[in-house]
DNA sequence: AGCCTTTGACCAGCG
DNA sequence: TCGCTGGTCAAAGGC
């Protein structure tokens, strides 16, 4: 079975597979071994992203652009930085899906995610589970927000090359993302610096937790556009997730997908597109009116 | 010491 | 009811 190129740095380590994941037989994990490489790439990507956001505000600079250029860059972070994903909403069913796919041909170098932290999205996450998912070469990881009384969870799926293909957020943060509750570690110092810089840039867009409840933003359009109809909606445990399940064939697709569903009105206005409200409707079962938006 | 990851076991939904 | 599958728990160990 082929395994991600990045899994074998320099091709010097024999690998064994665990749930489809090549594992280093040595004490040092691949994650550790590659953290350094990734850190550099991620830092580069973040700084680039920052620059774009800062100097090209009128340009629809999506995470996928960055992903194309910097595969190591985290789409989730890009989205949050670009769109100022609110930390929470008033609706407990708020959720978000982020997805990205990459073309193998677009990358010459495919660094692994740094550590097992799929995103440095401003929150602290603790991994509480990992599960091999049927049909998936890589296990799905389960994370919980470590903030007190915050029950937000997220699932992270990776493609066969180790890249994050989907992040599903579940729930809402009841706290601000600017937690910085501890000194950075694991070589995240650079991230911390970067984040600080980013935070200052987006300060004007910051939204307090639970301050918005609007969803089905413009992203919905993208969703409909990109979601495959052949993807059955998860029948099991549809629970409180209002996420848009994204079809990610995990095959070679030239364009990465970035899909976000949010209730934030801010996102509506700050997703890089201009939206014109053309209707408002009370939706059964939803205390909040649905806003219909179109890209201008 | 505290936090985190790992991982097997357990639980629950669905066909 | 049973098996499959996804999600969660919690002990153990590492950092």
Chain A 150-169 residues whose Cβ is under 7 Å from strand C: 153, 155
Phi, psi of A221 (to 5 degrees): -60, -45
Nucleotide nearest to A115 (CA to C1'): B5
Is the pLDDT score of A69 beyond 60?
no
Report the nearest residue to nucleotide B5, CA vs C1'.
A127
Distance (Å) from CA A209 to C1' C9?
Answer: 29
Chain A 18-37 residues whose Cβ is under 7 Å from strand C: 27
* A274-293 core/surface letters (b: 16 or more CB in 10 A; e: else): ebeeeeeeeeeeeebeebeb
The sign one gets for the Cα dihedral A252, A253, A256, A262 is negative
Q: For A40, how many CA atoms within 13 A lie in the half-sphere containing its CB?
A: 6
Report the nearest residue to nucleotide B13, CA vs C1'.
A236
Is the pLDDT score of A136 beyond 70?
yes
What crossing angle do the helices spanning A30-55 and A189-202 adopt, rounded to 10°? 20
What is the pLDDT, as a whole number, of residue A41? 38
Q: Does the CB of A130 fall within 7 Å of any strand B atom?
A: yes
Check if the beta carbon of residue A154 is closer than 8 Å to that of residue A172.
Answer: no
Report, in ranges, which bases of strand B sit under 7 Å from a protein C-beta: 3-9, 13-15
Distance (Å) from CA A244 to C1' B3?
Answer: 33
What pTM value is reported for the model? 0.48
Q: Which long-range contacts (CB under 8 A, 24 or more apart) does A243-249 make?
A: A243/A95, A243/A96, A243/A97, A243/A168, A243/A169, A243/A170, A244/A97, A244/A219, A244/A220, A245/A97, A246/A97, A246/A99, A246/A166, A248/A99, A248/A101, A248/A157, A248/A159, A248/A165, A248/A166
What is the pLDDT, as a whole number, of residue A120? 65
What is the pLDDT, as a whole number, of residue A232? 37
Nucleotide nearest to A236 (CA to C1'): B13
Q: Does the CB of A126 fall within 7 Å of any strand B atom?
A: yes
- Distance between CA atoms of residues A94 and A92, nearest Å: 5
**Structure tokens that stand for A262 in this block:** 């949010």
Residue range A225-255, pLDDT digits in tens: 333 333 333 333 333 334 433 433 333 433 4
- Distance between CA atoms of residues A245 and A207, nearest Å: 26
Give the pLDDT mean for A259-284: 48
Query: What is the 3 state secondary structure string of A97-109?
Result: EEECCCCHHHCCC
């Amino acid at each position: 079975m082929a395994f991600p190129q990045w899994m074998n740095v320099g091709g010097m380590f024999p690998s064994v597979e665990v749930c489809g994941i090549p594992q280093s037989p040595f004490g040092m994990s691949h994650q550790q071994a590659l953290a350094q490489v990734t850190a550099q790439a991620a830092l580069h990507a973040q700084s680039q992203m920052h620059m774009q956001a800062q100097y090209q505000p009128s340009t629809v600079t999506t995470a996928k652009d960055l992903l194309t250029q910097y595969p190591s860059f985290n789409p989730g972070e890009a989205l949050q930085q670009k769109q100022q994903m609110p930390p929470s909403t008033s609706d407990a069913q708020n959720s978000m899906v982020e997805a990205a796919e990459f073309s193998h041909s677009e990358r010459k170098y495919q660094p692994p995610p740094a550590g097992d932290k799929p995103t440095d999205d401003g929150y602290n996450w603790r991994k509480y589970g990992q599960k091999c998912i049927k049909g998936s070469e890589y296990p799905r990881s389960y994370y919980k927000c470590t903030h007190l009384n915050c029950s937000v969870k997220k699932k992270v799926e990776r493609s066969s090359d180790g890249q994050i293909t989907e992040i599903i957020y579940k729930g809402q943060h009841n706290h601000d993302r600017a937690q910085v509750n501890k000194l950075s570690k694991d070589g995240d110092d650079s991230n911390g610096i970067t984040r600080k810089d980013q935070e200052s840039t987006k300060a004007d867009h910051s939204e307090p937790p639970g301050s918005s409840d609007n969803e089905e933003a413009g992203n919905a359009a993208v969703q409909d556009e990109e979601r495959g109809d052949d993807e059955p909606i998860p029948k099991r445990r549809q629970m409180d997730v209002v996420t848009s399940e994204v079809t990610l064939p995990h095959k070679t697709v030239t364009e990465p997908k970035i899909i976000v569903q949010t209730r934030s009105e801010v996102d509506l206005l700050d997703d890089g597109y201009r939206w014109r409200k053309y209707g408002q409707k009370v939706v059964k079962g939803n205390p909040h009116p649905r806003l219909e938006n179109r890209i201008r």
